[in-house]
């Protein structure tokens, strides 16, 4: 009886944890991707300004 109860508890815990973990991982990937996009934009801006300065000089 106890084994059955603990299995049900574990199953319920897994059902609650799995979507939470999936959401956390997805949020982490989204943050990493948006952050890399942002750094890429900043890099292109810096490179663009550097090339503009070279052209003006």
Res 57 pLDDT > 60: no
pTM, two decimal places: 0.45
Task: Name the domain count of the chain.
Answer: 1
Give the separation between CA 53 and CA 46, rounded to whole angstroms: 11
Instruction: Print the domain residue range for 30.
Output: 1-56
Task: Give yes or no for residue 53 having a pLDDT over 70.
Answer: no
Which of the pair, 30 or 57, is modelled with greater confidence?
Answer: 30
Q: What pLDDT was estimated at residue 13?
A: 86
Rounded Cα distance between 7 and 11, Å, is 6
**pLDDT of 14 over the 80 cut:** yes
């Amino acid at each position: 009886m106890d084994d059955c109860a603990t299995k049900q508890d574990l199953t319920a815990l897994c059902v609650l944890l799995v979507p939470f973990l999936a959401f956390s991982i997805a949020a982490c990937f989204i943050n990493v991707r948006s952050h890399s996009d942002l750094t890429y934009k900043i890099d292109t801006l810096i490179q663009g300004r550097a090339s503009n300065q070279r052209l003006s000089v």
